[in-house]
Amino acid sequence: MSEWLSPDVIASAPGRVNLIGEHIDYSQGFVLPFAISYRTTASLRRRDDQVIRVRSKQRLDDVVTSSISELAPGSQGGWERYVLGVIWSLGIKEGVDIEIDGDVPLGAGLSSSAALECAVAIGLSEMFSLGLSKKELALLTQKAENQYVGVPCGIMDQSVSLMAEAGAALLLDCRDLSTTLVPFDLGASGLELLIIDTQAHHALVDGEYAKRRQACESACTKLQIASLRDLDLATLIADRDSLNDEEFKRAHHAVSEMARTLEAVVVLRQKDFVALGRLITQSHVSLRDDYEISCAELNCAVDVALAHGALGARMVGGGFGGSAIALAGQSQIEEIKGAIAEAFKSASFREPRFFTSLPSEGAKVIKRLDR
């Protein structure tokens, strides 16, 4: 095997936490995520043949080799499919070597897969001078995940990984991908956003995610609307009899979550963190009871954080495991962490991991080396 030469382009992209607006990106709603400081880096080098080689800095001897003509949606494999899928969706026709590095916690629901896709995408776009906008890159990386890897995700994770800016949350309208930056400076108010990785990974995730999407779609068909974005609470309640119980509950979450997200933007601009905390907790209750995607570990983390003074707490991401967030005073964070660790121990759950992050910048090209 020929050696790895120095890269032509180095690019990086972050993971994300969603403040509020959960499971509504595929219903064309509003979401309010921010990029975290944990990032994935892709080092890319052009080849003069059709070969693709992918490896991770953590396991340098483990090289996956493929070729442009072999790229096909639905291919079997491991994490490298997220890289190959992006080469495929961007329509690259030349060979490339890609080495991946990074510190986005894996399996924690913090979008390590979007970080990987977006780092590769922005690097390829730069290296081959494709001139793709961040919106185009978001749609192409989502296409890679949907079609190549076969995960039916929405557009939120890739969009925020690409379009986020430091110091702000990103209000994303998932109908047209327009964005508004909302300043999000917790530190100045003596607050912190604690990320609690429950380390729970319930096997349900993929199938249940697809089922939630289907229930939202069948509710739309019955109500004769294009998406749940076109519904308001009063109409939903008036039309309750035309939906089954499952469709009603899923639609109720989506419609109420869209309203909460817009309200969160208003209170965030006013720096009313008590109101923000209340909305965050209401979001959790809705995800737990209407959307039914929480689990014992997530509920425990949220309940304990609230009992120890958090202003708000909720599960984040796809559900059935992964992370929760808690908004709390900086002086309370240690107590909350200790209490959650203790509660997890008594419940015989896996040991939780804790992270924190300021809102960070989105994907970028770090270096272009001329040769």
Q: Just list the catalytic residues.
A: 157
**24-43: contacts with ligand GLA (CB under 6 A):** 25-26
- Stretch of residues binding ligand GLA (CB under 6 A), selected from 23-31, 176-184, 252-260, 344-352: 23-31
Min separation Cβ 159 and ligand GLA, Å: 9
Please tell me whether residue 119 adopts helix, strand or coil conformation: helix
185/289 with CB nearer ligand GLA: 289
Question: Strands across the sheet with 364-368, in order?
Answer: 59-67, 51-56, 96-102, 33-46, 9-18, 364-368
**In angstroms, rounded to a whole number, what is the distance separating the alpha carbons of residues 193 and 86?**
32
23/250 with CB nearer ligand GLA: 23
Min separation Cβ 193 and ligand GLA, Å: 17
Q: Using CB under 6 A as the criterion, what x/- string covers residues 144-173 for binding ligand GLA?
A: ---------xx-xx----------------
How is residue 112 annotated by DSSP? H
Binding of ligand GLA at residue 250 (CB under 6 A)?
no
CB crowding 185-213: b at 16 or more within 10 Å, else e? ebeeeebbbbbbbbbbbbeebeebbeebb
Q: Using CB under 6 A as the criterion, what x/- string covers residues 305-324 for binding ligand GLA?
A: ------------xx------
First to last CA, the chain: 22
| Total chain residues near ligand GLA (CB under 6 A) | 11
Q: In what helix (H) or strand (E) does residue 198 lie, and over which residues does it extend?
A: strand 191-201
Residue from 8, 9, 22, 231 touching ligand GLA (CB under 6 A): that is: 22
Min separation Cβ 145 and ligand GLA, Å: 8
Binding of ligand GLA at residue 117 (CB under 6 A)?
no
7/312 with CB nearer ligand GLA: 312
Question: Which residue has 């979450």 as its token pair?
Answer: 253
156/236 with CB nearer ligand GLA: 156
Specify whether the CB–CB gap between 33 and 17 falls below 8 A: yes
Binding of ligand GLA at residue 23 (CB under 6 A)?
yes
- Stretch of residues binding ligand GLA (CB under 6 A), selected from 17-25, 55-63, 235-243, 332-340: 17-25
16/45 with CB nearer ligand GLA: 16
**In angstroms, rounded to a whole number, what is the distance separating the alpha carbons of residues 146 and 155?**
10
DSSP 40-82: EEEEEEE-SSSEEEEEETTEEEEEEEEEGGG--TT---STHHH
Min separation Cβ 210 and ligand GLA, Å: 11
SS (H, E, C) 203-271: CCHHHHHHHHHHHHHHHHHHHCCCCHHHCCHHHHHHCHHHCCHHHHHHHHHHHHHHHHHHHHHHHHHCC
95/105 with CB nearer ligand GLA: 105
Helix ranges, 311-358 (H): 333-346
Residues that bind ligand GLA (CB under 6 A): 18, 22-23, 25-26, 153-154, 156-157, 317-318
